[in-house]
Amino acid sequence: MSGFGFEKLAVWQKALVFADLVYEMTESFPRTERFGLTSQLRRAAVSVSSNIAEGSGRGSKKDFSRFVEIAFGSVCEVVSQTHLSHRRGFVSEENLNKVRESGEELGKMMSGLRASLDRK
């Protein structure tokens, strides 16, 4: 079994860890947020690894780079929504910092990947 190329990418693997972190963090959110912040955060977190995977399957490095850029936008979305969740009392300072640190690390990895894809 040869697998998919994206499965070997450290940035994709890190994106899965990021999504796991968000899922764990939102487990304790109020039921009233199930269709609000919980859903928004989870969908944004899942879209990070999904966009990296989809981009890797595109025919060109330019397309892949664009999908990595979209994935980074989803990381920013998660960080922003985690700040709001913290303000609403759903997320501790510790979890906010975990999401921010993980997001920053992912962002650096994505930046490096995009730089390598954008080289001619």
pLDDT in tens, 72-98: 999 999 999 999 999 999 999 999 999
**Does residue 95 sit within a domain?**
yes
The pLDDT of residue 3 is: 77
Specify the residue for token string 């997320």.
91
**98 located within any domain:** yes
Residue 76 located in a structural domain: yes
| pLDDT value at residue 2 | 58
Domain membership flag for residue 77:
yes
**pTM of the entire predicted model:** 0.94
The reply to whether 17 falls in a domain is yes
Read off the pLDDT of residues 30-75 as tens digits, 9 standing for 90 and up.
999 999 999 999 999 999 999 999 999 998 999 999 999 999 999 9
Q: How many residues does the chain have?
A: 120
- What's the rounded Cα separation, in Å, for the pair 52 and 56? 6
CATH label of the domain that carries residue 108:
1.20.1440.60
Q: In terms of residue numbers, what domain contains 31?
A: 13-118
CB-based burial of residue 70 (10 Å sphere; 0-12 exposed, 13-18 middle, 19+ buried)? middle
Give me the number of domains the chain comprises: 1
